[in-house]
Structure 1
Amino acid sequence: MANRLAEATSPYLQQHRDNPVDWWQWSPEAFAEARRRDVPVIISVGYAACHWCHVMAHESFEDDDVAKLMNDGFVSIKVDREERPDVDAVYMTATQAMTGQGGWPMTVFATPDGDPFFCGTYFPKQHFARLLDSVATAWRDQRDDVVKQGAAVVQAVGGAQLVGGPTAPISAALLQAAANGLAEEHDETYGGFGGSPKFPPHMNLLFLLRHHERTGSARALEMVRHTCEQMGRGGLYDQLAGGFARYAVDGTWTVPHFEKMLYDNALLLRVYTQLWRLTDDPFARRIADETAQFLLRDLGTPQGGLASALDADTEGVEGLTYAWTPAELVGALGADDGTWAADLFRVTTAGTFEHGKSVLVLARDIDAADPALIARWQDVRQRLLAVRAGRPQPARDDKVVASWNGLAITALAEHGVLTGSASTRQAAVTLAEVLADRHLVDGRLRRVSRDGVVGEPVGVLDDYGCVAEAFLAVHQVTADPRWLTLARQLLDVALAHFGTGEGGFYDTADDAEKLLTRPADPTDNATPSGASSICAALVGYAALTGETSYREAADAALATLGPLIGGHPRFAGYSAAVAEAALTGPFEIAVATNDPADPLVAAALRHAPGGTVIVAGEPDRPGVPLLADRPLIDGRATAYVCRGFVCERPVTGSEELVARLAT
């Protein structure tokens, strides 16, 4: 037996390095070995922070008897879905086609050519052992039937991945239909959309904020405000250390699935920052600030970059780090403060979680309380956090994923310039330098790095889109032309190698590894789709440079997303947000100034609609198109406001600029 995962970049694969299973990494050599031995393949897909992945690993992959069945009858391949989203997408489509559902761990039985013929998710040990025996027997005695089944699944996968469907140009009516669709599914009591489990709908909230700005819809803003309040005061949010969990297992945001993902927190940082910009709500500002601190404090890696996730489990137990009893609060704080904290955080003897423990929620509006109460609350938080730090802590998946870091860079840049936080602004620049210096290899993106070493998996479309958008965000906060140049390089690769030829995009490049089919999923799920993220970058780049060919590419791609936006808005949040920016113009604002702290800059940042591009700097700065031919007027800072490549007369006063942006 020769487990081949010891040298893997992925922490998830590293978790399986000592299994008695003869694991292979995804590679042509693994399938060649299956052909040589004339045995089927097991493709096991998961990720490091996945609870049920850990359960199946402990029950089955660490068991000698199960491992023997796998080693004797199969070639077993372990895949990190976050490192190889292309592989995951293809086989998840097969799993959903065969079973009607999907999830992780994903377990796929395939021919030595990679054609899936039996798919599932988590299997308990005894079921899995019987399944291994049955599949091995069927492969030996009923090979023709197995191969035919595989061919049928492959055909179904190909049909599900077809591109070139109907299009719908972006219009006000289409975006109104999307907003109306979300309103119909909005939970009026607890916020969010749908029932349990309930995921943070960050991209839908970004869309609704932009929809509110364009249309004045009070309903759209209230859906965002109410959902953000319920999430931020619920158990989904870590009331002590900040940061959001992946989802709530209930419909009330009380009990989370405890893993904390980089992408969720990056997108939610944008939502709360923008909500504060529009409302001045101190609660939204606090959550934004604490989420930014969580990203940099708990996910920052020594080599630069942000880690992917904190695990759902601690020593195999969910919630071990985070849940409390009233007695534990009293033990940590004393009787008076412990009783007060139990009331504030709704910790009861019955408990809201397992074993009579409770997940901390915030029972009342502490942000609007008197200063003495706020001071007591902050003191209690810090004391509880110190006690919690002495508990076992969840593991961290410390691989750096390009697209997720791109999302974080954009969020940190927005937070930094809007709140005036020099630390988050600088963090955005530093993280962008990490991606540019480490992940950009010979003009092409690599998806992951770990411990400062870049991995082999090539970037997929969302890497190009999210990183290009991040570079554009950093260009706007620095006026450094380097970032504009790098963003263009990424967009040119995407246009040359990922396009369908009909306006849309595939998720993998035309020169990437050939899989069963070439994935092209336009839906925004946990993260923005490759298509919506590349559209965001194309719209932004065109606005910053005036190069209309990039805007034309964006409009063509958005038209392919139009039917999804209008008909299924919950799965098109980022597409709809980008479409709102495109329909608005977006605004293009250049502030010619020798003083970056000029009030005119602050007015532009605070009052420009979401999706606006803003660059402030000295007039005619080389390599910065938005500042070209933008002189100071009467020696004063001057704002040039354009929309759709058409400019109005310049203004030098903040009030006049705000009025201009309101029209």
Structure 2
Amino acid sequence: MANRLSTESSPYLLQHAHNPVDWYPWGDEALTKAREEDKPILVSIGYSACHWCHVMERESFENEQIAGLMNDHFVCIKVDREERPDVDAIYMEAVHAMGVQGGWPLNVFLMPDAKPFYGLTYLPPRQWANLLTSVRAAFNEHRDQLAESAEGFAGHLNASDIQLYNLTRSDTLFTPETLEQLYRKLALKFDTEKGGMNRAPKFPMPSIYTFLLRYYHHTQNESALRQIIVTLNRMALGGIYDQLGGGFARYSVDDMWFAPHFEKMLYDNAQLLTLYADAYTLTQNSLYRRVVYQTIAFARRELLSPEGGFYSALDADSEGEEGKFYTWTTPELKKILGNDFEWFADLYHSTDEGNWENGRNILHRTVTDEEFARQAGWSLEELNEMLSVAHARLMSARSSRVRPGLDDKVLCSWNGLMLKGLATAYRVFGEPDFLDLAQQTAQFLNGPMTNPANGGLYHTYKSGKAGLTGYLEDYAAVIDGYLALYQATFDEHWLQTADQLTRYVLDHFGETRTDETGSELFYFTDRTGEALIARRKEILDNVIPASNSLMAGNLYTLSLLMDRPDYGTQADRMLGRVQPLLQQYPGELTNWAALYAMRVRPTAEIAIIGPNFREVRQAIDTRFYPNKVLCGTESESRLPLLENRGMIRGETTIYVCYNRACQLPVTDVAEVWRMLV
């Protein structure tokens, strides 16, 4: 029989719709029931592509006896963390405060007033059943102690940012010495041989390498460049990257980038598009170009919805087995590839006994196309032709397999990240298809994902319907995407829309006070949204940058493009507020560090006027130069950087300005590079 989750739209909640557990979705009905019946609440949080969430469901939530314990003693609530990041963030922070390592599935026990008193992640069925009995007994017999503990955790959640992070604003901003300190502290944790950070599992963490790119731009420190290259190369050649179909898995369970946790998330691939495209402009590495083209092809093929938005994720499992869709036995490869098997197996390290579990092979490489062709005595063109044929055969065979589950909800924030990736890829490679996809994504965000009543954003979209009031992460990522699309096309609609959304953020996510309470930073939730037990601010960067660090970068970019000094002041106050924490823990604030690197030197404001303004933009974007903003028009514009500026001798003219003071205009892009500092 179906439970209450059967009417939900979230694929994750629907996965649990036929559990014998009497699940409720998060909402007033469940919270009211807990208060009226004076029952503790069990909140179980996960997401559709989460492997261990599936395991716990099979072992415990589909078990009639365990479900009976849950139903008899608790009000049970299932939460999709991607749909409700506000709920997830509060209870994840509470679990961390309890001294427990976080992760998903996240299971948190609450008092009837929704204040948490205990939490943990996955447990096997026997231990889970014992815990349920123990928690209920504690609730009955030691209620006062649990209530006192819950009050303490609630107090922690409601503490100000000053109290939690000691955010005393720094008065010394943007010095090369501090930038060097950030790099050296972060570099202590580098894996200089295999790339990434010196640990396992290994996550891509794009903002680390965005920071290193910007740091290298200022310092020309070859160690930083080597770390970028070894990491991006090893990821692109490793098993974490789908060598046949493109796209990255969420992380590698080992420290070699070899064995992935096979789920594919939109947010990873979106950010890695931006990273690899930017790195290509610095290195001209053909491997990075291939990654960008293949990853966009993957996203178009497997994640693009008919409405124009991108779906959220692909599961790690198919047919109940992790990675089965992506891995191969040697007999399968021999049958499909025939005479091409030997060299293919050599290139992708396939073995008869299998290089992974159950005799299966994860395709991965250790050398580039150029290196392998040279070793084999072939031309690069010959190898590329052979690879094209072999890949096509294997992709055809793979297409007949049972596919991993698709999380077909569309998330506003992740699509904003994807818009940024597509727009950046177009700026770098000039591929018209990339621009078409970017504009389609932007139209979707500006259409179904935007509330026509107030101009705000929705968070989710599923089955033709948008829902949930947008979070700060939605606004921050979408504004960033619109700013990238404007600088790719010079269509002023996207710049104006980014500014409108920024004003919405200032009105709906900020504090009214301007004292020493950290009010420069924005809340994660809209003031008109659902009130939870705490209203939090997202400050620490993770696999996805913190919404506040993204928003600070947006304010800085808009301050230059729109001539809004107040935006720049706000961005600098935000960065100044977190700077002491950044200097102490740069690895936890790498997107803040990337913005800090931008502020160490002035940013060039480049205005292009004339019939070839798009061609000039493309020529400028072929080289890596992060400290710039671009605007352009064919003839005239009301934008501050373009207003009252004309051409020289009827030719497309370029103005390079710093701090709103411009140098003499030029008509040759080569002259632009001589003017940039």
TM-score by shorter chain over 0.5: yes
Q: 1:252 maps to which residue?
A: 256
Correspondence for 1:452: 464
TM-score, L = length of structure 2: 0.94
Instruction: Give how far 1:611 is off.
Output: 4.9
- Paired position in structure 2 for 1:633: 648
SS in 2 for 1:44: strand
Contact kept? 1:564, 1:571, Cα under 8 Å: no
Q: Which amino acid aligns with 1:496?
A: D
Give the residue type in structure 2 aligned to 1:431: T
* Correspondent of 2:477 among 460, 466, 469: 466
Matches within 5 A, 1:453-602: 453-455=465-467, 457-500=468-511, 501=514, 502-596=519-613, 598=615, 600-602=616-618
- Distance in 2 between residues matched to 1:145 and 1:488, nearest whole Å: 50
* TM-score between both structures, scaled by the size of structure 1: 0.96
Deviations 1:86-118 (A, max 9, x none): 111110011122243100000011111101111
Alignment match, 2:169: 167
Which residue matches 2:450?
440
Aligned to 1:652: 667
Is 1:347 matched with 2:347? no
Deviations 1:382-435 (A, max 9, x none): 211111112211111111111111111011101112101111112111111111
Q: What residue in structure 2 maps to residue 360 of structure 1?
A: 363
* Separation in structure 1 between the aligned mates of residue 324 and residue 344 of structure 2, nearest angstrom: 19
Shift of 1:379: 1.6
The 3-state SS of whatever aligns with 1:5 is helix
Structure 2 CA distance for aligned equivalents of residues 451 and 652 of structure 1 = 51
Partner Cα distance (2:124, 2:652) in 1: 67
Tell me whether 426-435 or 363-372 shows the greater mean CA deviation. Answer: 363-372
* Structure 2: distance between partners of 1:380 and 1:486: 45
Once residues 490 and 561 of structure 2 are traced to their aligned partners in structure 1, the CA distance between those partners, rounded to angstroms, is 11
Decide which of 373, 387, 390 is 1:377's aligned counterpart: 387
Aligned to 1:284: 288
SS for the counterpart of 1:155 is helix
- The residue type equivalent to 2:301 in the other structure is R
* C-alpha RMSD of the superposition: 1.8
Q: What's the counterpart of residue 426 of structure 2?
A: 416
Q: What secondary structure does 1:607 align onto?
A: coil
Give the counterpart letter for 2:407 in structure 1: D
Mapped partners of 2:359, 2:227: distance in 1: 33
Structure 2 residue runs of 5 or longer lacking an equivalent are: 374-378
SS in 2 for 1:264: helix
In 1, Cα distance between equivalents of 2:61 and 2:108: 15
- Find the aligned partners of 1:179 and 1:163 in 2 and give their Cα distance: 21
How many Å separate the matches in 2 of 1:563 and 1:535? 16
The alignment status of 1:297 with 2:312, answered yes or no, reads no
Structure 1 residues 397 and 270, CA, compared in 2 at 3 Å: closer, same or farther?
same
Partner of 1:65: 65
Residue type matched to 1:352 in 2?
A: N
Cα distance per residue 1:426-454 (max 9 Å; x no partner): 21111111111122212222111112310
Q: How many aligned positions are there?
A: 658
Determine the C-alpha separation between the residues in 2 that align with 1:31 and 1:2. 21
Asked if the contact 2:489/2:614 (under 8 Å) is kept, the reply is no
Give, in angstroms, the shift of residue 58 of structure 1: 1.2
Contact 1:413 1:424 (8 Å CA) reproduced: yes
Are 1:391 and 2:394 counterparts? no
Q: CA deviation at 1:240?
A: 0.2
The alignment partner of 2:4 has SS state of coil
Between 1:476-485 and 1:155-164, the stretch displaced more is: 155-164
Q: Distance in 2 between matches of 1:304 and 1:7?
A: 25
- 1:586 positional shift: 2.2
The structural deviation recorded for 1:521 is 2.8
Once the 2 structures are TM-superposed, how far is the Cα of residue 194 of structure 1 from its aligned partner?
Answer: 2.0
Runs of 4+ in 1 over 4 A off after TM superposition: none
- The aligned residue for residue 337 of structure 1 is 340
Q: Give, in whole Å, the separation in 2 of the partners of 1:375 and 1:160.
A: 60
2:376 corresponds to which residue? Answer: none
State the SS of the aligned residue for 2:43: strand
User: 2:535 & 2:119 partners in 1: Cα distance?
Assistant: 19
SS at match of 2:630: strand
Equivalent position to 1:220, from 217, 221, 224: 224
What secondary structure sits across from 1:619 in the alignment?
coil
Cα distance in structure 2, aligned partners of 1:135 and 1:37: 17
Q: Using the alignment, how far apart are the partners of 1:583 and 1:453 within structure 2?
A: 44
Aligned partner letter, 1:480: D
AA matched with 1:416: Y
